[in-house]
Amino acid sequence: MTALRSALADYLGMRRALGYKLRRTEKLLLQFVDYIETAGADHISTDLALNWARLPASADVSWWSGRLTVARKFATFVNTLDPKSEVPPADLLPARKSRRAVPFLYSDSDIAALVEAAQIFPSPLRVLTCQTWIQLLAVTGMRVGEAIRLDRKDLDFEAGVLTVWMSKFGKSRELPLHPSTVDALRIYLRKRDQLCPNPSAPSLFISSAGTRLLYCNVNWDFIRLVRRAGLMPRSKDCRPRIHDLRHTFAVRTIIDAYQTHANAGARLSLLSTYLGHVHPGHTYWYLSAAPELLGLAGQRLERSLENR
């Protein structure tokens, strides 16, 4: 193993110990090290990093900038071990300022339309699985990757609890489920077992082949369902995305607190834990783009001021 490959293993190990998964980063950095070694170099240089980052030549500058950022972070680590390795300047390939997408908040009819649209798939198991994970994401706010990684043993029917293991930043959590959700999952598993008695994976959700679902396939299925359901973008920055089921859950949870005159601050703290956020501050973004929620907050403020 070369010194650079050894440094890469240490770098990935260190960052993963902090909770980062780094699947894409590892893939890119392996390519980066291959590029350096193919060039016959023993150290990272700014020129090599820049030339590698600008591949392919037809890509957008934001793609190049992202690749250089990955290489630069690794180079910073390597430089502490090998001063001959250079760290590319941060402004070498400035990226365009990106705008964060505006969450697409789904209505009950939108979700029902997505569930109904799953009938387009030819496999009964695929239809059943797709309908179930859509509804589970909608009522729990789980991340897509978390739902895919669930194993059957993670569902405790007696306690009505779903356990999410080692998710983002290495956090695990238990999600209490509504009895109707538990019943729906019980029905799913019973029908699933009839359609696929001997799956090859222990996962809760399985493909038509009995294997664990892949994120790319789940996302592609969702895009097809959005088109089939006729859900249209509300603006250039507000398009239906699978992750917005999580945003919708978060907003509805706080709206319910306002409508039932519950303590919204306390509900926010519970919501943050339920979503698996490290800090409640990370939950605020999920709530910032909902006019209905802002309206309810404003009404509560007005009542409070009147009472004073």
Whether residue 92 lies inside any domain: the answer is no
d(CA 139, CA 218): 18
Residue 103 is given by DSSP the state P
Active site residue 277: yes
Whether residue 267 lies inside any domain: the answer is yes
Q: How many CB atoms lie within 10 A of CB 262?
A: 12
Active site residue 282: no
For the chain, strand residue ranges (E) read: 155-156, 161-164, 173-176
One domain for residues 152 and 266 = yes
d(CA 163, CA 166): 10
Active site residue 261: no
Q: Give 296: exposed, middle or buried? Use CB within 10 Å, 0-12, 13-18, 19+.
A: middle
Active site residue 236: no
Cβ contact 224:213 at 8 Å: no
d(CA 137, CA 305): 38
One domain for residues 282 and 154 = yes
Active site residue 286: yes
Catalytic residue among 143, 149, 247, 252: 143
One domain for residues 38 and 156 = no
pLDDT in the model for residue 125: 98
One domain for residues 10 and 69 = yes
One domain for residues 130 and 257 = yes
Instruction: Tell me what the pLDDT averaged over the chain comes to.
Output: 88
Decide which of 81, 116, 141 is a domain's last residue: 81
Span 18-27, pLDDT tens digits: 777 888 999 9
d(CA 232, CA 218): 20
Question: Considering its fold, how many domains does the chain have in total?
Answer: 2
d(CA 276, CA 204): 20
One domain for residues 50 and 104 = no
Position 283, amino acid: T
pLDDT in the model for residue 290: 64
Q: What is the pTM of this model?
A: 0.70
One domain for residues 116 and 77 = no
Active site residue 279: no
Whether residue 90 lies inside any domain: the answer is no
One domain for residues 257 and 288 = yes
One domain for residues 211 and 114 = yes
One domain for residues 212 and 118 = yes
Decide which of 55, 81, 107 is a domain's last residue: 81
Q: What is the DSSP string of 116-138?
A: HHGGGSS-HHHHHHHHHHHHHHH
Closest CA to 250 of 215, 222, 288: 288
Q: CA angle at residue 140 from 137 to 142, to 5 degrees?
A: 60
Cβ contact 129:184 at 8 Å: no
- Looking only at the bridges linking them, the beta strands covering 161-164 and 155-156 are antiparallel
- Cis geometry, peptide bond prior to residue 56 (ω within 30 degrees of 0): yes
Catalytic residue among 246, 247, 252, 274: 246
Whether residue 89 lies inside any domain: the answer is no
Whether residue 88 lies inside any domain: the answer is no
pLDDT in the model for residue 174: 94
Residues 6+ apart with CB under 8 A from 285: none
One domain for residues 63 and 105 = no
Q: Residue 148's domain is classified under what CATH number?
A: 1.10.443.10
Whether residue 24 lies inside any domain: the answer is yes
Decide which of 81, 115, 150 is a domain's last residue: 81
pLDDT in the model for residue 259: 77
Q: To which residue do tokens 């538990």 refer?
A: 182
Cβ contact 102:238 at 8 Å: yes
Catalytic residue among 5, 73, 228, 243: 243
Structure tokens at 144: 């897509």
Q: CA angle at residue 46 from 43 to 49, to 5 degrees?
A: 80
Whether residue 73 lies inside any domain: the answer is yes
**Ranges in the chain, pLDDT < 50:** 301
Whether residue 123 lies inside any domain: the answer is yes
One domain for residues 71 and 128 = no
* 22: containing domain: 3-81
